[in-house]
Structure 1
């Protein structure tokens, strides 16, 4: 509830991502900014983008940080390009994160805050991502994780140490933060607040210019807004799949192979016999013989055992070899010498003297090579299929490594080579609504958008029963679309932009009229454009909070953050136009002193207050150490990342 309230009172521009600590892994691998992108130096404007205290942040650090943050963004937005990332102030965010990180380390060094090697080692062992199948820390898993993240052990330890230092600094500053009861009461009371007002929309389309537009005007708009016309990277993929059908005669076992397998497993096909028995084990031979004689005389085996204070134990389908291992060769001989339904002669094992009743005898006749031929052939065929596919995949990899093309490989195997239409990193066919790449390419999509052209790869599908071999046939980099190709889009966006400007001017006129005493409906009606009728609003915050499963419309959010009797304008999302919001009345009900909402406010506002303390501490560390930025070097990095150098 209260995080929702809080969002009303903070603008998006004012939000900053605090370096207060999402956990060691987040700091070590997400905020580490250490992905391998090669070296970066010699750019115009110097080789440092900022200085924090006495520590210099190099251009290479900023390049790695930007690439690392872009990689993380692509996990949720696969089509995100570097140009779009920079266009959304991503480079500035990466630089700020680096400055915060250096400020924390510099502050810690100044005041003697440390994270020793033993502490770092213990934290590494506690991280869940480095545990093996047995649930304990695995050195192998740790090394694999570092290799996948493309960082060294030294870098990982340094970043974990930074995370531990951050905890030592920020946890004491933010833990246990509370707010006064009166503030909690006020926030809780807001939940019962009712607001009444009117919302009007001035669509940009209603004010968009009509008639022809000069090419010079469109080109000027295009040049000033090139980042709005960036196309995502597109790739064309050639691929083929193969399964056991590609092995041909390789999987058919020969007579010699069948005979060799029969010879190897000869015991499996020999005649065998198993027996199910009920046995007793007694201390002496005399006791065992007495039991045998009583049963042979007509007494029940179970009755004799019970009278002797013993319990008969069943053994099901036991072989001679098993019985020899469990008991002794003598016991096995006695059990397998007796007929079904009879009682065995007493035999000794390390446990005592055994006597048993033979409940059943299961004899399996032996099989000849001819009789076992089909079973052996099927088993060999399946083994050869599984092994053959893996071997064929290795052969193809070797061929590719020796320079064979995908076309040559598929022709040799008789496979059908398919080529996709240009697609983006999220699997969507470029400029084709609701069309995607074939599902068989899904497991290879991420790799396909990282590899170079003419570099075939092979990947297993369906648990190794099918393989995919593929290559990138064509790469169209992310770039601003040529003006000639998107002139229609530029014109539409120009008209929308001009309409937005005029809608803003109209909104100012409406604001002036409403503030002069006119109603919003009257002010809108005075406009020459055809505008939708204003919407009347009468809601409580409680009713608004009930819509949290849906996105709260921006004008409603503004209505619940304004002062009573005021009128404001708000730009609609996606250049749709401008809202004019008129708040007429605010009604507030009192709460009981023990209302649960007050306790809820105290609970939820505390951590938010702690976040604010963390933000202020971060700013204070920057100011104490001193931060200087090199705008020329940052501009050079920006050009380098955009490929403009």
Structure 2
């Protein structure tokens, strides 16, 4: 790929645009019937649109945009709402909400229903609404939808709309099959190969050398503030503590040690272990006959081998462990035999055991004094674990009760620390390479969702590490004052001015190329430094192999042009202008790729289903009629983008 394509897509804004449309299916959760508030000068009862005879409240849009941004942030945690709006995410939310209402209204108009019982059954299936027992938990349900700004009524309304959409559209889009002739056409595109050239006329080559006036810079910055949006930053206060830092008295008393010794008397009594060599035979008669041969002086291993069995040596075990592995009867017989003796055969789960006692290990009894160090260590660990659990529960009670972090820290001897301004992904704003304490990483997502400053306690490593944290300061995503980014703004202004001249140069070059001059010669005629040119020789399948990456726009244009043509394309963020010239198109014979047509039909099935859905929804919009409240939508857009009201 062309190296200069990557500049835009490596930037934060470029990445935001690439991710702006991900995970928007969660808009079913975006309903809200909250009233009485205002947003951007539009009352909560105002409508964003009217579908047929039903009004869509503007709160649907505000909640939907926030929900969509939250989902996109799962892939790009530092994405800001202004960037989301600028990248087209807001417009997609508007369309999604209107279409959801269109489908539901059309379904009702044609007699489809999603009754209360059906909605209830769907709610019961959602795992997020289940408690510890696995059954539906009303508190968990209300808490989950409440975190999304929803009420029971609004959530049910959204779920009802989804159920109606399933009833209405599922039959229309189920398992569509692309006709073979069309599939062959699409399959042949995969085998298409294109040759051409792509050049970049950089704005930097035409940028003015002098700086703008204060008035020019101020006006330009006001129009381009979204380019300088800083993501939301939060400063946290926290105190880390754990099993190694909490002071608890875990020393056992002499009485406790004696009681444990008495309780585990069997553990400290004299004991015996035995190691055996054995094999298993299917019948009692065979076992007795083989045991008799061994008692007569034959080696157990030899007897087993001659009888077609394999003898195995076992590790030393006590009687209980041996009984668990074989049978109680065999273990009893084994512990009755002398060292070197043959065990009386006994039946186990696998057959009849024939065995020899190889070794007897006798462990002497231990007195209380001898067992005290071991018991002391065990009791100390147990008491410390219990004491820490009690102390953590006590601290948690203080935190939940509203006690300030500083007071909790002082009471329990904890050290309070403050982070620098953090981004949602845990990086320190403005300090490349700076890190935070690892205990904060698991709670960052919660910290960036908290609306209140009351402290919270979180368990980082179960039973060992804990952290109390609170949000000390929230700096909303916004463009900084011009003075803080003056140098970057000047560079942006110069780039913008250069882009205008670069467009004129690109038009001149394009005219020469269309007149028969080579692209290389047309670029040289401009006599400017910094022009970049690269020859392209690619198959479409090479682009398809990079489905997980965003294909650069100039390459997309190259693969959509007619042979022998040239076009210009604006580069993002005033980088300059691309000139795309396509020289040749060739296609490999499709018959040399067996199975490609069938594979294409299968892969395009989902795209065809989505196309059917869009066409059906468009027909519904036309029949019902949709009227948008452009003023209300624009007001919400301005508020979300952080723009000043006009």
Query: What corresponds to 2:309 in structure 1?
Result: none
Matches within 5 A, 1:139-538: 139=135, 144=140, 147-148=143-144, 150=147, 159-272=158-271, 364-452=363-451, 454-527=453-526, 530-532=528-530, 535=533, 537=535
Query: What corresponds to 2:4 in structure 1?
Result: none
Query: What corresponds to 1:69 in structure 2?
Result: 68
Q: Is the 8 A contact 1:200 1:532 kept in 2?
A: no
Instruction: Measure how far apart 1:61 and its partner are.
Output: 2.2
Question: Separation in 2 of the partners of 1:296 and 1:499?
Answer: 101
Q: Is the 8 A contact 1:238 1:417 kept in 2?
A: yes
Question: Separation in 2 of the partners of 1:190 and 1:394?
Answer: 65
Query: What corresponds to 1:350 in structure 2?
Result: none
Question: Separation in 2 of the partners of 1:587 and 1:346?
Answer: 85
Question: SS state of the match for residue 494, structure 2?
Answer: helix
Instruction: Measure how far apart 1:184 and its partner are.
Output: 3.3
Q: Is the 8 A contact 1:192 1:540 kept in 2?
A: no
Deviations 1:446-489 (A, max 9, x none): 12222357522222233332222233332222222112222222
Q: Is the 8 A contact 1:209 1:498 kept in 2?
A: yes
Question: SS state of the match for residue 486, structure 1?
Answer: helix
Which stretch shows the higher mean deviation, 465-474 or 182-191? 182-191
Question: Separation in 2 of the partners of 1:194 and 1:295?
Answer: 83
Instruction: Measure how far apart 1:63 and its partner are.
Output: 2.2
Q: Is the 8 A contact 1:131 1:141 kept in 2?
A: yes
Instruction: Measure how far apart 1:206 and its partner are.
Output: 0.8
Question: Separation in 2 of the partners of 1:320 and 1:591?
Answer: 75
What is the TM-score of this pair, normalised by structure 1?
0.77
Residues 547, 501 of structure 1: alpha-carbon distance in 2 compared, 3 angstrom cutoff:
farther
Q: Is the 8 A contact 1:130 1:138 kept in 2?
A: no
Equivalent position to 1:591, from 589, 592, 603 = 589
Q: Could you say what the CA RMSD is over the residues aligned between the two structures, in angstroms?
A: 5.1
Question: Separation in 1 of the partners of 2:181 and 2:201?
Answer: 40
Query: What corresponds to 2:29 in structure 1?
Result: 33
Question: Separation in 1 of the partners of 2:533 and 2:294?
Answer: 102
Instruction: Measure how far apart 1:639 and its partner are.
Output: 5.4
Question: Separation in 1 of the partners of 2:89 and 2:209?
Answer: 37
Residues 637, 295 of structure 1: alpha-carbon distance in 2 compared, 3 angstrom cutoff:
same
Deviations 1:89-129 (A, max 9, x none): 43332222111111121122222334566766776677787
Instruction: Measure how far apart 1:261 and its partner are.
Output: 2.6
Which stretch shows the higher mean deviation, 599-608 or 144-153? 144-153
Query: What corresponds to 1:55 in structure 2?
Result: 54
Instruction: Measure how far apart 1:379 and its partner are.
Output: 0.9
Instruction: Measure how far apart 1:547 and its partner are.
Output: 6.7
Question: SS state of the match for residue 29, structure 2?
Answer: coil
Instruction: Measure how far apart 1:403 and its partner are.
Output: 4.8
Q: Is the 8 A contact 1:247 1:388 kept in 2?
A: no
Instruction: Measure how far apart 1:581 and its partner are.
Output: 1.8
Question: Separation in 1 of the partners of 2:320 and 2:117?
Answer: 58
Query: What corresponds to 1:622 in structure 2?
Result: 621
Which stretch shows the higher mean deviation, 381-390 or 361-370? 361-370
Structure 1: gaps (5+ residues) = 1-11, 281-286, 304-313, 348-354
Question: Separation in 1 of the partners of 2:484 and 2:343?
Answer: 97
Deviations 1:402-429 (A, max 9, x none): 5544334334444443322212111111
The total of aligned residue pairs comes to 612
Residues 552, 98 of structure 1: alpha-carbon distance in 2 compared, 3 angstrom cutoff:
closer
Query: What corresponds to 1:613 in structure 2?
Result: 612
Residues 276, 569 of structure 1: alpha-carbon distance in 2 compared, 3 angstrom cutoff:
closer
Question: SS state of the match for residue 366, structure 1?
Answer: coil
Question: SS state of the match for residue 78, structure 1?
Answer: coil
Instruction: Measure how far apart 1:71 and its partner are.
Output: 1.1
Instruction: Measure how far apart 1:606 and its partner are.
Output: 4.1
Question: Separation in 2 of the partners of 1:332 and 1:605?
Answer: 67
Deviations 1:271-330 (A, max 9, x none): 4567789999xxxxxx9xx99xx9999799999xxxxxxxxxx99956599989x9999x
Query: What corresponds to 1:566 in structure 2?
Result: 565
Instruction: Measure how far apart 1:525 and its partner are.
Output: 3.2
Question: Separation in 2 of the partners of 1:320 and 1:542?
Answer: 70
Instruction: Measure how far apart 1:443 and its partner are.
Output: 0.8
Q: Is the 8 A contact 1:35 1:65 kept in 2?
A: yes
Q: Is the 8 A contact 2:422 2:428 kept in 1?
A: yes
Q: Is the 8 A contact 2:295 2:342 kept in 1?
A: no
Question: SS state of the match for residue 560, structure 2?
Answer: coil
Query: What corresponds to 1:541 in structure 2?
Result: 539
Instruction: Measure how far apart 1:231 and its partner are.
Output: 1.5
Structure 2: gaps (5+ residues) = 1-13, 303-312, 347-353
Residues 564, 237 of structure 1: alpha-carbon distance in 2 compared, 3 angstrom cutoff:
same
Instruction: Measure how far apart 1:182 and its partner are.
Output: 4.0
Which stretch shows the higher mean deviation, 441-450 or 390-399? 390-399
Which stretch shows the higher mean deviation, 95-104 or 629-638? 629-638
Residues 435, 101 of structure 1: alpha-carbon distance in 2 compared, 3 angstrom cutoff:
same
Instruction: Measure how far apart 1:49 and its partner are.
Output: 1.4
Q: Is the 8 A contact 2:230 2:477 kept in 1?
A: yes
Question: Separation in 1 of the partners of 2:229 and 2:174?
Answer: 45
